[in-house]
Structure 1
Amino acid sequence: MNQNLQALQDAGVSIWLDDLSRQMIRSGELSSYITDKAVTGVTTNPSIFAAAFQDLSQYGAELSQLKADSVDVEEAIRRLTSRDVAEACRLFTDAYATSAGYDGRVSIEVAPTLAMDTAATIEQAAALHELVGEPNVLIKIPATQAGIPAIRATVAAGISVNVTLIFSIDRYHEVMDAYIAGLEDALAAGRDISTIHSVASFFVSRVDSEIDKRLNDIGTPAALALRGRSAVANARLAFKAYEEVFGSARFTALAAKGANVQRPLWASTSVKNPDYDDTMYVAQLVARPTVNTMPANTLAAFADHGIVSGDTITPNLDDAAQVLDEVQAQGIDLAEVCDKLEHEGVDKFVVSWTGLVEGVTVALARA
């Protein structure tokens, strides 16, 4: 086991890989991530699958059969992605069992085109959960305004959820409330809430990318000194919110009946600015219990030279608040930034989904 990654895991951070393909599963590459790099879960997105489905050596036979059966493109996507996710889930059976369900998780996302449709999101979340058919699957639902009631309803149905595309602390509070309300609904319906798990995916690097652009435009020494600090500060304050909500009397009452916390997950952790330390969104966001989902290059960088120096979140909460106060003092509206990033995030997801649909359409034609 890589020592740097083992140290990160020992510090309370679950390491999940932000990548998946059938070739990775069947070649043994994913298994090697599990045994050698402390990876205990996987997250996916349409862009990842769009690239994977072009490999006809892996998908050709199934694509040919789907074509022969006159299956439409979106149904073909659901079947192919769910099969890969199910196969990956089975590789994580041990991690799932030994962690009592916290880890060993593989995520599959509801079509991004449904991000503003609550009813359709609820329906597809249930369908994907049934289609994958493995207990350690997580259904990804975006934290849009329409997604919030869908999260509650999906959790109430006993389905474990990865809430994605969170940028603001205010929206994060809505996400946590939806999860807890869903648990309360599930309990009232007689469900065993100990089997329900969730993570809340708080996006990191995109916050710096947007705020740094604005700080550069301001251009003063005080503004420039704040570059590369907003994203970590925002995430650290999200962890503070997590501790407050899941330490509340409301959740404590549910925990007594078996409820699990909804762990913060740090997403978008690859560094976009080459001048920054390529492990900063990992090393500076260490606390128990969190998840960090990394693309392969970030994982490799941390394995090579990442440093774990204990909890880097809770001792720095005052500094985090000060950083964001100073950013706002520069005239930057954090609420507006987060709202912009959420809308852009949905748009990017839809673009990725469109690319996936186009890619599978081409692959079906070639099959």
Structure 2
Amino acid sequence: MKEDCEVFPIIVPVEYGLKTINFFLVRKEKRLLLIDAGIDDELCWGALNKTLNENGFSIRDITEIILTHHHFDHIGLVNRIVQEHPIPVYASPLSIKRLKRDSVFMKNRLAFYERFYQEMGCGELGKKQIQYLNKALEKNKHQALQCEISPITASTFQHFSVLEIPGHAPDHLAFWDKERNWLFSGDLLLEHISSNALIEPDENGNRLQTLIQQRDSLLKCLKLQPEIVFSGHGQVISEPNRLIQLRLERIEDKAERFYQLILTGFSTASEIAETYYKKTYLAQFSLVMSEVVSHLDYLELQGKIKKKQVKGIWHYSAMATHTAH
């Protein structure tokens, strides 16, 4: 017999590409969990309280907060909730330095991106991005979580299985309700757009192969055959398996397009990015570079391309066995 359970989605419309900011109240027996916590603004705060009140709850009825990953649009209300009602906050062990905005970690992360943009041939655009990130270090200090954060392990929750699903973020987790075939997936799977596999360093400053991780995470979730996916943005997904297949096909298609550009003579990631994305390369520089480099990693894994560093910049070329076909 299934235990009693209800999900109360909190859906906050936004005017940009994400469409909505989603977070979820989940009632299981006498517990009321909050999965993710939106943005730190009055819209999200009002939507949380409205959903609570409409279902006979208040802030003081929330028993714990569970975070899928550290991005600002998933953690925004944590400080405000915990100041009003001290409750446990849980996140991946890999989230904690990011959520606390640990000064050493954040400075090392900045150094990683400075090296990354240099090696990918981004020139002045890369330098401008580093200037922006430097200013953001100071500007976003207030986003650090002030509360204690408990690391999630495989045995933390009886009511969910915890899945590690890196790719979009190194610390990304999903929560699987096996009884109902429900998956709380954060940003792994979005109904209306592909989730970005954002280039990130690991704890030691080494570059993660984020698209390869993202693909593995999608395959992991496909094996579960979920019936409903509660995602971090857009609609709740009622046909997730079909959508996961589409996202996997899109990875292959995009990688092939970049491979064709390499065959025509474009050799650096910045050249490929500017040629393929044109004005979007300037407008969404960091996202575009993540998209291109992560797909180049995937092509390398397939053995279709190789890279060589010339004067500090990586140049990509097709492997001879593939150009012959």
**Higher relative strand content:** 2
Structures share a fold, TM > 0.5?
Answer: no
Higher helix share: 1
For normalisation by structure 1, the TM-score amounts to 0.26
Q: More relative contact order in 1 or in 2 (CA 8 Å, sep 6+)?
A: 1
